[in-house]
Structure 1
Amino acid sequence: MKIREAHINDAPAISKVTVDTWKTAYRGIISDEYLNNLSYEEREKGWREFPFHNSFIYVAENETQNIIGFAAAGPERTSNPVYSGELYAIYIYKDQQNKGIGSSLIRSVMKRFEQLGIYSVLVWVLSESPYRRFYERNGGYKIDSKLLEMDGFKSEVTAYGWLDIRAKF
């Protein structure tokens, strides 16, 4: 497995990971109708519009150089007075989970934040997602929750934070 910084040409593969992992990770949490209507093309359009000028994505590739997961991050988006950085997304194909890929991706993101002089980071996670424990295992702690309304669905989300990533990563 190799971790590298993504570029715009990775958008189709990142879109596929996004859609496929949403369909496995969020089944039973987000409506089947919403999940069944997810489109590679729509997600690709969104990833092509990703603000690479001030944010970044790391991808995990398998031995055949296929992207099997990614993490996207950048400046915190809600003007939080405590947290400067935000992990926007981290997704890994279900059959590739529990192999250390997520931990490698999050370490890469946190190292990049350190290089940028950003030491406090948060991530928003669907509150019902069993994957939220990943952040707890990686030293994140619950700091907030709110109702998220996005693209036609509503769900509670929980924020996990790291006040000083240098202490953990």
Structure 2
Amino acid sequence: MSTAAVRPATVADAAEIARIQRDTWRTAYADLLGEDTIGALDLGELTARWAEAAEHPETDLHVAVEGSFTVGFCVAGPAPAAEIAAADGSLPPDAETTGLIATLLVEPRWGRRGHGGRLLAAAAASLRERGAGRGVTWVAQSDSASLSFFRGAGWNPDNTVRTLDTGERTVRELRLTGSLELRLTG
């Protein structure tokens, strides 16, 4: 049986993170984002962005591994004001202690093995170390698997929505929030 773990990412992981993003978006999000959007993903550009993220002091980038395979990743950090503001632009009282789970992806072929939960737990621990007590993330309203995953961790929609334009489609996202003292369930 292979060993599964989560560890901090390094610049050397950037190419695998980029590949996971591209492949997962192709497999799981092509209908949501559109074929042109997915086709426009450039591995070189993605790799450069993830290398920068791995070195950014305000970013916590983790990878999930199973045996010798990198199977997923999560990026988190302090939540920018734009990510936690109310529709009128006002900030919540805990704005300074709110973290953002910007991306959490596990390749579909490696799903249902606990990698997502381990990634979220590692990101939550990193955010708690930075002084955060609450987290937020954005999930496409039509992404029932991700919504179910975050609800299983005790995170729920806070009635804030946004619409993203991919250039080909619009994607309605729900903001979810919850404690960084997670309760992960199967």
Q: Same fold (TM over 0.5)?
A: yes
Q: Quick one: structure 1 residues 138 and 48, their matched pair in 2 at CA, closer, same or farther if it must change by over 3 Å?
A: same
Instruction: Find the counterpart in structure 1 of residue 57 from structure 2.
Output: 53
Higher Rg: 2
Q: Secondary structure at the match of 1:49?
A: helix
Task: Provide the C-alpha distance between the structure 1 equivalents of 2:74 and 2:59, rounded to a whole number of angstroms.
Answer: 11
The alignment status of 1:116 with 2:120, answered yes or no, reads no
Q: Which amino acid aligns with 1:158?
A: L
Q: Which amino acid aligns with 1:149?
A: D
Task: Provide the C-alpha distance between the structure 1 equivalents of 2:181 and 2:143, rounded to a whole number of angstroms.
Answer: 27
Q: Secondary structure at the match of 1:28?
A: helix
Instruction: Find the counterpart in structure 2 of residue 149 from structure 1.
Output: 165
The alignment status of 1:75 with 2:78, answered yes or no, reads yes
The answer as to whether partners of 2:37 and 2:166 remain within 8 angstroms in 1 is: no
Instruction: Find the counterpart in structure 2 of residue 11 from structure 1.
Output: 14
Task: Provide the C-alpha distance between the structure 2 equivalents of 1:120 and 1:149, rounded to a whole number of angstroms.
Answer: 28
Q: Secondary structure at the match of 1:109?
A: helix
Q: Which amino acid aligns with 1:157?
A: E
Instruction: Find the counterpart in structure 2 of residue 97 from structure 1.
Output: 111
**TM-score of the pair, normalised by structure 1:** 0.90
Percent identity of the aligned residues?
Answer: 19
Q: Quick one: structure 1 residues 153 and 47, their matched pair in 2 at CA, closer, same or farther if it must change by over 3 Å?
A: farther
**TM-score of the pair, normalised by structure 2:** 0.82
Alignment of 1:15-26 (within 5 A): 15-26=18-29
What displacement does 1:158 show? 0.8
Of 27, 31, 34, 2:34 maps to 31
What displacement does 1:92 show? 0.6
Q: Secondary structure at the match of 1:29?
A: helix
Task: Provide the C-alpha distance between the structure 2 equivalents of 1:58 and 1:167, rounded to a whole number of angstroms.
Answer: 17
Aligned CA RMSD, in angstroms, stands at 1.8
